Amino acid sequence: MIPLWLSSRDIESRWDELEPHLKRFELERQVISAEAVRADCQSGDKQLWLIEGAGIAVTQILTTPKGRVCEIFAACGSASLEDMRDVLARLERWATGVGCTHMKIYGRHGWKRALRDYRQTGIILEKAI
């Protein structure tokens, strides 16, 4: 599967196809609204990738003390594990091409088990106050 980077124009023209995936991410993770992701992608702060017929991925490039990091901020869809590994490999090549030296993924426990070449680097804790 080939992830297709979407320009601002593409995001607008395909919003009806993209919105359900971003709404699902919004509801499941509760960290950012679909509209905020849309705005961030249109401004260039994040990149929205369409995985044709299988879902979406959202990346962002961070400058850190260890270098440029490509963070997979969100991913939603119905791709198989094998297809997601292929998408990830393609995103890693893209990230290398734009000067990134590291990848970072926010994912679920299943991702940790499936992506053995990645290591867990933190824990996120949350509490309602």
Q: Give the pLDDT confidence of 52-80 residue by residue, as tens digits.
A: 888 899 999 999 998 999 999 888 888 78
Is the residue at 26 inside a domain? Answer: yes
Give domain status of residue 77, yes or no.
yes
> What is the number of structural domains in the chain?
1
Confidence band of 123 (pLDDT split at 50, 70, 90): low
The CATH number covering residue 76 comes to 3.40.630.30
Asked, for residue 121, whether it belongs to a domain, the answer is no
In a domain, 18, yes or no: yes
Residue 109 and residue 52: Cα distance in Å, rounded? 25
Distances (CA, A) of 102 to 25, 52, 91, 99, 119: 24, 26, 11, 9, 12
4's tokens: 């297709």
Residue 53 belongs to a domain = yes
pTM: 0.84
User: pLDDT (tens digit, 9 = 90+) per residue, 88-109?
Assistant: 999 999 999 999 999 998 776 6
Q: Which residues make beta-bridge pairs with 50?
A: 4, 56
